Amino acid sequence: MRTFLIDTDTASDDAVALIMALRHPEVRVAGITVVAGNVPLEQATRNAIYTAELCGRGDVPVYSGASKPLTRECEHATWFHGEDGLGNQNYPPPRGRCRDTPAAEAVVRIVHENPGLTLVTLGPLTNVAIALQRDPKIARKIARCVVMGGAPCCEGNVTPAAEYNIWVDPEAARAVFHSGMPVIEMVGWQLCRGDANLREADIAAVRALDTPLAHFAIDCNAVAMEANRAQSGEIGIALPDPVAMAVALDPSVCTKRSTHHVDIETQSDLTRGMTVVDRLDVVDDPRNRGVWSSFAGRPKNVSVCWEIDIPSWKRTLFSALA
């Protein structure tokens, strides 16, 4: 049994990712920590509890955390996911409530209690950054940190330079990327695009499973599907968090990866939240030390996923909804 800890700004694609982890027979979800992002904190917390209960896993503890980024105001994305983050389907309130322990405190405790766990982040990295501020030693105890975020060497979805999760709280992302975690696996937004979208035939296949979870996964993404068409002109449901979760659950879903120095831009208005990938290892060239020195002499910090096996990603998804 592998132990997962999931940090989420629970909106429609997060909910599907949570289902994948909660339903996986070889994974124990030690906790779900919630951060403000796509939707405000209170709504995101409600959505996380609702989703866990839908999976019959109301016993999994949910912890509410940061209501805004480390130093900035929060910019939500309700236009993409619906006012409630779940496609405005009027889902009832959950039966349970979150624990009293704040999310960052829960992250510290759960990591110490479960050394070697996998941390999966599906939202802005604020909670994780606060946990690392409280206890930097947790970094070494997280065997894998799978981050849905970033736009490595390609266009972003908030600005041409940046993907939402990293853009919202770039200071937090930078702190996490510099924390010394053994492996940060970056699953960028571009991996859910193109054929990785759930197309009409995929949606029909999910509906045909005819389970409550299958219908929920499609229904709660109704607003997101329209927003995806408006944003990128792509027809289908884009599921960045479930793609990242598929890689976390089955590393073989990622078919091309490489490890690099990756830093986050925090100063510029133009490129705020950009995930800057040193593909040519210029940091290791002595001529460049004075120019880009933040990583000089330090190990490469991020494994970037460049390609996924799309049929394998969709199989992983479908099996969770069956």
For Ca ion, the binding residues (CB under 5 A) are 9, 14, 122-123, 241
Closest to Ca ion by CB, 111 vs 122, is 122
Distance separating alpha carbons of residues 173 and 130, to the nearest angstrom: 11
Q: How far is the CB of 280 from Ca ion (least distance, A)?
A: 31
* Residues pairing with 254 in the sheet: 308
Q: How far is the CB of 235 from Ca ion (least distance, A)?
A: 22
Extract the tokens encoding 187.
């699953």
Residue 73: CB atoms within 10 A of its CB come to 7
Q: How far is the CB of 42 from Ca ion (least distance, A)?
A: 16
Q: How far is the CB of 34 from Ca ion (least distance, A)?
A: 10
Q: How far is the CB of 18 from Ca ion (least distance, A)?
A: 10
Q: How far is the CB of 109 from Ca ion (least distance, A)?
A: 23
Distance separating alpha carbons of residues 263 and 105, to the nearest angstrom: 26
Beta-strand relationship, 254-260 and 302-308: antiparallel
Instruction: Say if residues 6 and 29 touch (Cβ distance below 8 Å).
Output: yes
Closest to Ca ion by CB, 44 vs 283, is 44
Burial of residue 144 (CB within 10 Å: 0-12, 13-18, 19+) is: buried
Closest to Ca ion by CB, 169 vs 241, is 241
Closest to Ca ion by CB, 44 vs 262, is 44
Closest to Ca ion by CB, 142 vs 243, is 243
Q: How far is the CB of 10 from Ca ion (least distance, A)?
A: 7
- What ranges in the chain are assigned the alpha helix state H? 12-22, 41-54, 78-81, 103-113, 126-134, 138-141, 164-168, 170-177, 200-209, 212-219, 222-232, 240-249, 310-321
Contacts of 169 (CB under 8 A, 6+ apart): 69, 70, 72, 124, 125, 126, 129
Distance separating alpha carbons of residues 239 and 17, to the nearest angstrom: 9
Closest to Ca ion by CB, 14 vs 263, is 14
Looking at residue 27, its amino acid is V
Closest to Ca ion by CB, 125 vs 254, is 125
Q: How far is the CB of 168 from Ca ion (least distance, A)?
A: 10
Residue 144 three-state SS: strand
Closest to Ca ion by CB, 19 vs 283, is 19
